[in-house]
Structure 1
Amino acid sequence: MISLLDYGAGNVRSLRNAIHALGFELTEIERPEDILKAERLIFPGVGAFGAAMERLHRLGYVEPLKEYLAADRPFLAICVGLQTLFEGSEESPGVPGLGVIPGQIRRFAGQGLSVPHMGWNSVRLERPSSLFAQYADEKFYFVHSYHAVPSAENADWQLAITDYGQPFLSAVQRGAVAAVQFHPEKSGAAGLALLRHFLAADEAAGSSIAVPRAADEQTRFAKRIVACLDVRANDQGDLVVTKGDQYDVREKSGDRDVRNLGKPVELAARYFDEGADEVTFLNITAFRDFPLADQPMLEVLKLASERVFVPLTIGGGIRAFTDADGRHYSALDVAHAYFRSGADKVSIGSDAVAAVEDYLARGGVKDGSTAIEQIAAVYGNQAVVISIDPRRVYVDSPEATRHAVVETATPGPNGERYCWFQCTVKGGREGRDVDVVELARACEALGAGEILLNSIDRDGTGAGFDLELIGQVRAAVGIPVIASSGAGCVEHFAEVFAATGVEAALAAGIFHRREVPIQAVKSYLRDQGIEIRS
């Protein structure tokens, strides 16, 4: 009997779907006593350390879980699940963990690292394990700001090490108890193979058990290629994937219907098969009502998570709402519905601009009222992506504006040599008196874990990413940045990685129309010496 300890945090639907795709059945832990009945127990961890421990205590799971672990029964923990096995975490000072493994969980810091550690990284095995009988040389998907530190006290637990500025424990195992910091259900074939070995109790891998790497061999962190699907209802009421030119998604001639480039689930599955490292859904239908009534989009997430085993991000409508009956829902309620439907991250757009305007008006004081703060507190910073839609505003000199400017290689219409990047709302239709550096830094301070950086000027042009914009934001924040808008050929991807150092690059139309296949991008990047996931 394989049992899943779902304590109500984040996206565990994808883990369920991965297990079912491998041909196994699951039972759910519904009461504390169910834990001790399990034959193989999986403990998924999504979110913040303190929130996870609070839920375990509230549900009465802590003591039976400790008893199960003490009996050395088959157990696999994932991400924050691994961290809870330790004594405590800097993420939640004063909150004790399960205390099974000696040591504290520490935050990544220093050495110019983007935090969270978000993306695909390889592991270095310290000893053989049937969990890694296949694909040990492949990369796995990590998304975390805190890590377990290898030490002499936990040496007997150390299974795999990954390097990100410093070495950290990416897998632990002692006897039948194991845990991984990465998400196997989001790690493609490599992650599914690891899950299969645990679920099948595959102790007979024999000669296929992976050989540990040399102790001085550094693991490698990959740049990510993200496929983006702009989803909206067409005039017939069907959800379609579309793509606009400067945000105009209607055909240029004829009946001017919404441009239809495919069905969301089928296209997402195609991108997974073609090697996309992540898939992002942006629901660009204007929400005139309550977003949780948008059942078709929730259904898209549910169906996509059955076929796509890399991270899924959803954007659109992540804000507080009051429905037609007067019932209020917080942004956290909306995000929770998306997570439970299969999303791994939520993307906040226009509401982030409003949140930052209020934050700056308060003198840069956090008050817990923003969607960014509320979602990050429960699900962790890594669950919150900020989608920024800036446009160029040209000025004659830096003194002509209070905003952060760049000296541009593409002068303005009157020969202006400087510009600043104005943040917009409502799909780029309305500009605000906030520049992109202000917004990005404020969102990071409020708790966001990643920036999705678009460009109204470059969107749909195929002229390449706006390197001046991206370089300015990359230098301003310490969280990962996804470059978006303007990709037209494989060279543009190599250019943005080399020139700006961003962690990921996103494209939409060129992938939808098969003008530039994802594998062509990856092959070119590999030839240029840029680390990617095969």
Structure 2
Amino acid sequence: MGGLYLLDYGAGNVRSLVNAVNQLGYEMNWVNEPSDILKADKLIFPGVGAFGSAIEALNTKHYADPLREYIRSGKPFMGICVGLQSLFEGSEESPDVSGLGIIPGVVRRFDTMDKAVPHMGWNEVFLLKNSLQSKNEENLDKNDDVLHYGIKQRTAYYFVHSYAVPYNSQLKEWTLAITQYGTEKFVSVVQKDNIFCTQFHPEKSGYSGLRILRAFLETNGAAVQLTQKTINIIRSLDDVTNNKKDRFRKRVIACLDVRTNDEGDLVVTKGDQYDVRDRTTTANDNNHINNNNGLSNIVNVAGQVRNLGKPVDLAKRYFDEGADEITFLNITSFRNSPLTDLPMLEILRRTSETVFVPLTIGGGIRDIIDPDGKFHSALEVAGEYFRSGADKVSIGSDAVYATEKYLKNGKKCNGDTAIETIAHAYGSQAVVISVDPKRVYVKSPTDTNHHCLETSIPGPNGESYCWYQCTVKGGREAHDIDVYQLVNACEAMGAGEILLNCINRDGTSSGFDIELIRDVKKSVRIPVIASSGAGNEEHFVEVFRETGVEAALAAGIFHRREVPIESVKRVLKGRGVLIRDSDTVL
């Protein structure tokens, strides 16, 4: 039969990879049984989640031996993320599990002393192999697209992983490129003979990533043969990294609060813990939406749900404008039955067809019972989102309930919370905790049992201390849990990232709550996304410089084009903050 095949062992979002391949004009066949592997002319093996789970799935489905045989045959093979790691002998993530053993070495966990883990975001690759005709990076020419599978020096690609293969001299014949994170250098691109693998996700790396996929799809093995004939230089590590600091980028994330309006359509609006209904009729361009460019004839009418745009159209607009990630927060539709909310699932599917950066979905990620009495676990709900195009799920209210359970259990994990079950199946990088806290002022830290901060913003009665109380149900219900307790508990349960909101700042355009963000950033070793309060470009500069967070998120100011994403990134770059340059053409 032949053709291009996808080896999907059942974990994570492979829809985006299929969409990326389709976008490039190719069709993908699916490996459904072991014999399909050997039918392939080209094979792509993507993966997310735990090393052990991936290898176990390969063995259980009897894919491991045919996969080894396929690779030995010399036909083109591409591995992505865990698809790369599985080729090695083993991993610290699953010490008792043997890898495929094709490449010597063991996958190691990142050191958390100087950086957040998972390594989640955009980072540069550094080519270690050069061709005869371009012996330095300044002379890389068009032919090197073929030689290096479209990989470009000084270009950032999207990574999301906690484990990697440290680079050493024994791996130089296997290593096309490395990446530095903190002080650690790891193998980010493997290339030898017919084998080509990336630790990063090309399908989530914008047009730069699509070019890599296209190079693999179009070469028919020619790039491999040409590379082996012409590349003769292994570059010095110090030459490409200066052995000083990494080139990890700060992320700018666009958030879309989605809910059903009075006509039954899903629209982008403001969060439902606030007033989402217009008080006056508006007819200015900032409130109009257009199918082509984001602006139209839609007029917000007094009393109706505020309509700031169509979710799929806005998501595509943000991708084109350079957003590094897009988050959907479904604030009403999943209240009772997430798995029957077909319109929102369709939004994910349609968005992933044209948006090639990470997508996060939040709203209703929990154990549920349908109106007909059927039980669905949080893991099942998350799995449906992943299959529909999401890369990460955001857990809000359920994280508060899980923290209460964790604390009541003597700070011990039970293994049955949504956080734990999803992280175990899909990896910690797939679980984002969305925190909705509000300030509670006290005169002295002795007036509360909660973790307090001395604040420069005094309370209504001159109080100089505060703690941050966590809420559920979109901020409508407060619980006796503080942010410090929540983020530490969720990290212990396996969460991979914190989306840190602040009810007091949301919608104010007065800037991020630097005191809160700085305190949380110091409290955890996982990445933190700052949210709530952005009103201009300088607020983004401030939050990155003052807190060290990995990402910053905004919603309304982007929807209404009060502060364009391009403008934010231009100012950040001008102020010396490392960001990903927008790549707008394939």
- Supply the AA of the counterpart residue of 2:330: N
Deviation at 1:213? 6.8
Aligned to 2:290: none
Secondary structure at the aligned position of 1:511 is classed as: helix
- Supply the AA of the counterpart residue of 2:87: L
Aligned residues: 534
- Supply the AA of the counterpart residue of 2:212: L
**C-alpha separation between the residues in 2 aligned to 1:429 and 1:526?**
38
Aligned to 1:215: 237
**C-alpha separation between the residues in 2 aligned to 1:78 and 1:511?**
32
Query: What CA deviation, in whole Å up to 9, does each residue of 1:386-431 have, x standing for no partner?
Result: 0000000000001111111111111000000000000000100111
Match for residue 519 of structure 1 among 566, 572, 576: 566
**C-alpha separation between the residues in 2 aligned to 1:261 and 1:109?**
43
**C-alpha separation between the residues in 1 aligned to 2:334 and 2:577?**
40
Matched, 1:509 2:556: yes
Contact map agreement 1:244 1:460 (CA 8 A) in 2:
no
Matched, 1:193 2:240: no
Aligned CA-pair RMSD: 1.9
Length-normalised TM-score, structure 2 = 0.89
Aligned to 2:313: 266
Aligned to 2:489: 442
Matched, 1:19 2:31: no
Aligned to 1:70: 72
- Supply the AA of the counterpart residue of 2:340: A
**C-alpha separation between the residues in 2 aligned to 1:501 and 1:110?**
15
Aligned to 2:285: none
Match for residue 358 of structure 2 among 292, 311, 333: 311
Secondary structure at the aligned position of 2:491 is classed as: helix
- Supply the AA of the counterpart residue of 1:199: L
Aligned to 1:241: 268
**C-alpha separation between the residues in 2 aligned to 1:517 and 1:322?**
41
Aligned to 1:480: 527
Secondary structure at the aligned position of 2:237 is classed as: coil
Aligned to 1:114: 116
Matched, 1:396 2:443: yes
Secondary structure at the aligned position of 1:385 is classed as: strand
Aligned to 1:170: 188
Aligned to 1:224: 251
Would you identify which runs of 4 or more consecutive aligned residues in structure 1 move more than 4 Å? 204-209, 211-214
Secondary structure at the aligned position of 1:159 is classed as: strand
Contact map agreement 2:272 2:331 (CA 8 A) in 1:
no
**C-alpha separation between the residues in 2 aligned to 1:230 and 1:110?**
33
Aligned to 1:330: 377
Structure 1 regions of 5+ residues with no counterpart?
Answer: none
Matched, 1:528 2:530: no
Contact map agreement 1:124 1:213 (CA 8 A) in 2:
no
Contact map agreement 1:246 1:460 (CA 8 A) in 2:
no
- Supply the AA of the counterpart residue of 1:301: L
Structure 1 residues 35 and 90 mapped into 2: Cα distance closer, same or farther (>3 Å)? same
Secondary structure at the aligned position of 2:305 is classed as: coil
Contact map agreement 2:80 2:201 (CA 8 A) in 1:
yes
More deviation, 12-21/136-145: 136-145
Match for residue 154 of structure 2 among 137, 150, 166: 137
Aligned to 2:9: 7
Deviation at 1:247? 2.4
Secondary structure at the aligned position of 1:102 is classed as: strand
- Supply the AA of the counterpart residue of 1:43: F
Contact map agreement 1:246 1:458 (CA 8 A) in 2:
no
Secondary structure at the aligned position of 2:216 is classed as: helix
**C-alpha separation between the residues in 2 aligned to 1:252 and 1:214?**
64
Match for residue 171 of structure 2 among 150, 154, 157: 154
**C-alpha separation between the residues in 1 aligned to 2:553 and 2:274?**
16
Aligned to 1:496: 543
Deviation at 1:508? 0.3
**C-alpha separation between the residues in 1 aligned to 2:75 and 2:485?**
51
Matched, 1:420 2:467: yes
**C-alpha separation between the residues in 1 aligned to 2:384 and 2:403?**
24
**C-alpha separation between the residues in 1 aligned to 2:308 and 2:190?**
44
**C-alpha separation between the residues in 2 aligned to 1:468 and 1:275?**
28
**C-alpha separation between the residues in 1 aligned to 2:333 and 2:354?**
27
**C-alpha separation between the residues in 2 aligned to 1:247 and 1:81?**
44
**C-alpha separation between the residues in 1 aligned to 2:386 and 2:223?**
36
**C-alpha separation between the residues in 2 aligned to 1:288 and 1:119?**
31
What percentage of residue pairs aligned between the two structures are identical? 62
- Supply the AA of the counterpart residue of 1:10: G
**C-alpha separation between the residues in 1 aligned to 2:550 and 2:319?**
19
Contact map agreement 1:124 1:212 (CA 8 A) in 2:
no
- Supply the AA of the counterpart residue of 2:188: S
**C-alpha separation between the residues in 2 aligned to 1:235 and 1:171?**
50
Structure 1 residues 268 and 112 mapped into 2: Cα distance closer, same or farther (>3 Å)? same
**C-alpha separation between the residues in 1 aligned to 2:361 and 2:398?**
15
Aligned to 2:507: 460
Contact map agreement 2:510 2:533 (CA 8 A) in 1:
yes
Matched, 1:381 2:428: yes
Length-normalised TM-score, structure 1 = 0.97
Secondary structure at the aligned position of 2:179 is classed as: strand
Secondary structure at the aligned position of 2:539 is classed as: helix
**C-alpha separation between the residues in 1 aligned to 2:349 and 2:272?**
29
Contact map agreement 2:470 2:482 (CA 8 A) in 1:
yes
**C-alpha separation between the residues in 2 aligned to 1:212 and 1:414?**
66
